[in-house]
Amino acid sequence: MPELPEVETVRRGLLPVMEGTRILRVDVNRPDLRRPLPKRMAERVSGTRVMSLRRRSKYLLADLSSGETLLVHLGMSGRILVSGEAPGVFRNRHVMHDRHDHVVFHMEGGARVTFNDPRRFGAMDLVATESAERHRLLATIGPEPLGNAFDEVYLTRTLKGRRTTIKAALLDQRVVAGLGNIYVCEVLHRAGVSPTRRVSRLAAGRIASLVPIVRDVLFEAIAAGGSSLRDYRQADGELGYFQHTFRVYGRDGETCVKPGCGGRVVRTAQSGRSSFHCPQCQR
């Protein structure tokens, strides 16, 4: 589900109920997600105040007044929903308990923040705030695509000499942070580059042209509140709407939307994952 725009959307939805607010109690309903939850997590988090809520790539980082930072990754099916009676929380007031509600944060003021993840590909960890960026899960992640470090010089240098396809390269979190299957498909369509194209067979100028396109796609997706596939929701239960602007993702068989192209979108598999592209305008 969640690529960078969805995680950023969740973060923004959580800010009003979490940032600056004390966590009164935490219900930890199972010992593990994909890996074990942090030891004594409920005790370590309960009673602390959330000093700031940040995002790095697809990770949420909650800096706690205890000096620890809670890392949260949503995996494929993870969601975070706000419910309760806090000021400004009007939706989801009456949520049924779901068997995949694995961790529930009870906030001062009455809001409940529920982490729900049926597939349990998500993850949480607690680490010292001062070394959070060096956490093993974050240490090898590349630059933020919306930050200054991600520019044309960086991308062309980083991809130079790679033998893999451009699709795999952009999905590689060490190259650039936060892109997933959907947004890579969309970026490559806008760029007119086939997902099966080898990086080594792309001119430097074409690689460089990907940089502003990556930024545009992510920026637009965040502005739209992310993409809602299946039943994915924002923290307040609302649906994002960027999925309505997908140009290739999930559109196999449809006519390419690029003006004057007239091609047909096809779906192919690359290392077990679907790719969507228009063979007519993506080369």
Partner DNA sequence: ACACGACCCTGTTCGC
Partner DNA sequence: TGCGAACAGGGTCGTG
Where in the sequence numbering do the catalytic residues fall? 2-3, 58, 273
Q: Please, which contacts does 58-61 make with residues 24 or more away whose CB atoms are closer than 8 Å?
A: 58/2, 58/3, 58/4, 58/7, 58/177, 58/178, 58/180, 59/7, 59/137, 59/138, 60/7, 60/10, 60/11, 60/14, 61/132
Compute the distance between CA of residue 255 and CA of residue 266 in angstroms, rounded to an integer: 10
The secondary element (H helix, E strand) that includes residue 262 is none
Q: Does residue 253 bind DNA (CB under 7 A)?
A: no
Residues 56-85 close enough to bind DNA by CB under 7 A: 57-58, 73, 75-77
Residue number, 35 or 93, with CB nearest to DNA: 35
Q: Does residue 10 bind DNA (CB under 7 A)?
A: no
Q: Could you give the string, one character per residue 187-226, with x where binding to DNA holds by CB under 7 A and - elsewhere? A: ----------------------------------------
Q: Which stretch binds DNA (CB under 7 A): 9-17, 80-88, 117-125, 149-157?
A: 117-125
Compute the distance between CA of residue 271 and CA of residue 269 in angstroms, rounded to an integer: 6
Compute the distance between CA of residue 104 and CA of residue 30 in angstroms, rounded to an integer: 11
Q: Does residue 34 bind DNA (CB under 7 A)?
A: yes
Q: Which two tokens stand for residue 156?
A: 């062309």
Q: Does residue 283 bind DNA (CB under 7 A)?
A: no
Q: Does residue 182 bind DNA (CB under 7 A)?
A: yes
Residue number, 46 or 173, with CB nearest to DNA: 173
Q: Which of 164, 196, 209, 268 binds DNA (CB under 7 A)?
A: 164
